[in-house]
């Protein structure tokens, strides 16, 4: 690891020299590229240099243990314990910084929430999860935009809702939310007070760049129709809703939330690109190790990942055995403790792979 860090430090020093050259400063695109690389390496280099300084201090204090003066030996021994603790902490930090980065981590996301087993109760919980993630996005300062909604009956639930979330690190925060979310509670329609179990599926897709996913217009079937609103009533007198079918894969995306057919088509194409990118990455991930799958957050979405138990006021994430008894707070968007625990867990798993 130290050899690798010395190579990185050499590159960091080269970049500092390049950034001070007049020829580079006069070339904006090259300067920007070098400045970004320099910035990306700065944290690991600062940590590495702190680690090297700590090791030098440890060597100095070990020398002082041979001093004749007992007070100097005692002080050196005390400081050695503190320095060794710091060294261990810095080495762990360096290992984390050297982990392969998920290239999607800084991307915006498409969050897709779909009602599963449980009928109307599942649709109502889908609406609860939509509210939870929307409030979390607000806490993070992200911009949210509803792409598509499909209502269920007249109780305010969703069969499906797709929302785009734009913000720094959105995918890194939400990628572990993909999977089946189970709810246990007494439905509002339950006369005898029995607890029902329902399920909602969440999918988190990184937004695709145009250069990554190329769609041949000849492989698309675009249908337009009249938008319908909550409860099925018509909300538009023109054919502004759009349904796009990707013929090679059979993927279908619909969008009707905008009054403009052009805007609905643009939104639907964005979602289609994200789904196609996700499919490609899932196929690639299937060919590599389970550890790597966890690192890129491409695990099996059919797996039940979390249970929300209303009678007990409890939320349990089954992947890491985390249980919290603040259900209402979590549904109000305070999911950061769960997000952080998941990120820490998968970082630890990745470190084992090193």
> Domain for residue 121, yes or no?
yes
Both 47 and 115 in one domain: the answer is: no
Q: Report percent pLDDT > 90 for the chain.
A: 52
Q: Treating both helix axes as pointing N-terminal to C-terminal, what angle do 70-98 and 2-19 enclose, rounded to 10 degrees?
A: 70
> Domain for residue 354, yes or no?
no
Question: Domain with 45 in it: what CATH number?
Answer: 1.20.58
Residue 114 pLDDT more than 90? yes
> Domain for residue 94, yes or no?
yes
Residue scoring higher pLDDT (212 or 67): 67
Confidence of residue 287 (pLDDT cuts 50, 70, 90): low
Three-class SS of residue 102? coil
Q: What dihedral do alpha carbons 259, 260, 265, 270 form, nearest 10°?
A: -70
Instruction: Name 76's Cβ contacts closer than 8 Å, sequence gap at least 6.
Output: 61, 62, 64, 65, 67
> Domain for residue 180, yes or no?
yes
Both 121 and 94 in one domain: the answer is: no
**Cα 311 from Cα 186, distance rounded (Å):** 8
DSSP structural state of residue 213 = -
Both 148 and 175 in one domain: the answer is: yes
Average pLDDT over residues 89-104: 83
**Among candidate residues 98, 117, 145, the one where a domain is terminated:** 98
List the beta bridge partners of residue 251: 246
Both 80 and 213 in one domain: the answer is: no
Instruction: Name 262's Cβ contacts closer than 8 Å, sequence gap at least 6.
Output: none
Three-class SS of residue 260? coil
**Cα 40 from Cα 101, distance rounded (Å):** 11
Cα 100 to Cα 37, 207, 233, 292, distances in angstroms: 15, 20, 50, 10
Confidence of residue 284 (pLDDT cuts 50, 70, 90): low
**Cα 98 from Cα 120, distance rounded (Å):** 47
Q: Cα 255–259–261 angle (5° rounding)? A: 60
Average pLDDT over residues 144-170: 89
Of 285, 264, 254, 227, the closest CA to residue 112 belongs to: 254
> Domain for residue 24, yes or no?
yes
Confidence of residue 215 (pLDDT cuts 50, 70, 90): confident
What residues make up the domain containing 185? Answer: 109-349
**Among candidate residues 59, 74, 98, the one where a domain is terminated:** 98
Q: How many domains does the chain have?
A: 2
Residues in the chain: 354
**Cα 285 from Cα 294, distance rounded (Å):** 9
**Among candidate residues 69, 98, 127, the one where a domain is terminated:** 98
Instruction: Name 143's Cβ contacts closer than 8 Å, sequence gap at least 6.
Output: 137, 165, 166, 167
Instruction: Name 347's Cβ contacts closer than 8 Å, sequence gap at least 6.
Output: 96, 99
> Domain for residue 329, yes or no?
yes
pLDDT one-digit tens code per residue, 324-346? 999 999 999 999 999 999 988 88
Both 13 and 114 in one domain: the answer is: no
Both 142 and 253 in one domain: the answer is: yes
The model scores a pTM over 0.85: no
Beta strand spans in 266-348 (E): 304-309, 314-317, 322-324
**Cα 83 from Cα 62, distance rounded (Å):** 11
Both 12 and 141 in one domain: the answer is: no
Both 123 and 75 in one domain: the answer is: no
> Domain for residue 103, yes or no?
no
Residue 35 pLDDT more than 80? yes
Question: Domain with 208 in it: what CATH number?
Answer: 3.30.70.1660
Cα atoms found within 13 Å of the Cα of residue 318, Cβ hemisphere only: 11
Both 309 and 278 in one domain: the answer is: yes
Both 80 and 165 in one domain: the answer is: no
> Domain for residue 32, yes or no?
yes
Residue 295 pLDDT more than 50? no
Do the beta carbons of residue 189 and residue 205 sit within 8 Å? Answer: no
Both 82 and 182 in one domain: the answer is: no
Both 245 and 130 in one domain: the answer is: yes
């Amino acid at each position: 690891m130290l050899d690798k860090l010395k190579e990185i430090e050499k590159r960091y020093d080269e970049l500092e020299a390049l950034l001070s050259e007049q020829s580079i400063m006069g070339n904006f695109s090259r300067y920007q590229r070098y400045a970004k690389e320099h910035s990306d390496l700065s944290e690991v280099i600062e940590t590495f240099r702190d680690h090297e300084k700590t090791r030098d201090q440890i060597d100095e204090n070990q020398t002082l243990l041979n001093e004749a003066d007992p007070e100097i030996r005692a002080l050196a021994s005390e400081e050695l314990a503190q320095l060794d603790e710091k060294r261990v902490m810095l080495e762990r930090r360096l290992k984390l910084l050297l982990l392969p980065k998920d290239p999607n981590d800084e991307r915006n996301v498409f969050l897709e929430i779909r009602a599963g087993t449980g009928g109307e109760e599942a649709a109502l919980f889908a609406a609860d999860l939509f509210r939870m993630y929307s409030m979390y996005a607000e806490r993070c300062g992200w911009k949210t935009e509803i792409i598509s909604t499909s209502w269920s009956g007249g109780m305010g639930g969703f069969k499906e809702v797709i929302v785009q979330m734009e913000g720094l690190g959105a995918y890194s925060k939400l990628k572990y939310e993909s999977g089946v979310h189970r709810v246990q509670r007494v439905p509002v329609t339950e006369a005898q007070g029995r607890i029902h179990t329902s399920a909602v599926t969440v999918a988190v897709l990184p937004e695709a760049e145009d250069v990554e996913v190329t769609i041949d217009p000849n492989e698309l079937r675009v249908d337009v129709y009249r938008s319908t609103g909550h409860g099925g009533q018509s909300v538009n007198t023109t054919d502004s809703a759009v349904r796009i079918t990707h013929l090679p894969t059979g993927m279908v995306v619909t969008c009707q939330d905008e009054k403009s057919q052009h805007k609905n088509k643009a939104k639907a194409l964005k979602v289609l690109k994200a789904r196609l990118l996700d499919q490609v990455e899932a196929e690639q991930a299937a060919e590599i190790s389970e550890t790597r799958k966890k690192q890129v957050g491409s695990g099996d979405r059919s797996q039940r990942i979390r249970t929300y138990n209303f009678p007990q006021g409890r939320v349990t994430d089954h992947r890491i055995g985390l249980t919290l008894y603040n259900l209402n707070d979590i549904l109000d968007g305070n999911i950061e403790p769960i997000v952080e625990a998941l990120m820490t867990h998968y970082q630890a798993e990745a470190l084992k792979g090193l």
